[in-house]
Amino acid sequence: MADSGMQSWKSLALGCAMTEPGSSKRFNTGDWRSRRRPVTDREACIKCGRCYILCPDMCYSADPKAEGFYNWDSFYCKGCGICIVECPKDAISWQEEKEEDKYGPACGS
């Protein structure tokens, strides 16, 4: 069972282009994290949005149910810790994480 093609050559777009923009969204980089995840304490959070704007993997998105706060996305977070260092109020901190919890759906803090 040597390497085989992933799709028929006839099904490739012209010039092997990728015609679905942002198809990487289906790729789980969350499993790159090991043993811990960043968690936001919304009491301390001042809604400055630095975690949202400074995350290299765009894991934070506005929480529709709580104006100004941000949800964290387990599916993409690689556990780099930039948000923890850059949060002006140290509202984000590491929390131990068991393997099975990693693949939960995108969840709020």
Q: Which of residues 50-89 bind other proteins (CB under 8 A)?
A: 53-59, 73, 75-76, 78-82, 84-86
Q: 61 and 107 in contact (C-beta within 8 Å)?
A: no
Compute how many other C-beta atoms are within 10 angstroms of the C-beta atom of residue 84.
Answer: 17
**Site map for other proteins, 4-43, x if CB under 8 A?**
xxxxxxx-xxxxxxxxxxxxxxxxxx-xxxxx--------
How far apart are the C-alpha atoms of 64 and 79, rounded to whole Å?
A: 24
Complex with other proteins: residue 53 or 107, whichever CB lies closer: 53
20: left (phi over 0), alpha (psi -120 to 50) or beta: beta
Q: How many residues bind other proteins (CB under 8 A)?
A: 57
Nearest to 108 by CA among 61, 49, 48: 61
Complex with other proteins: residue 9 or 43, whichever CB lies closer: 9
Provide the binding-site residues for other proteins, judged by CB under 8 A. 1-10, 12-29, 31-35, 48-49, 53-59, 73, 75-76, 78-82, 84-86, 99-100, 102-103
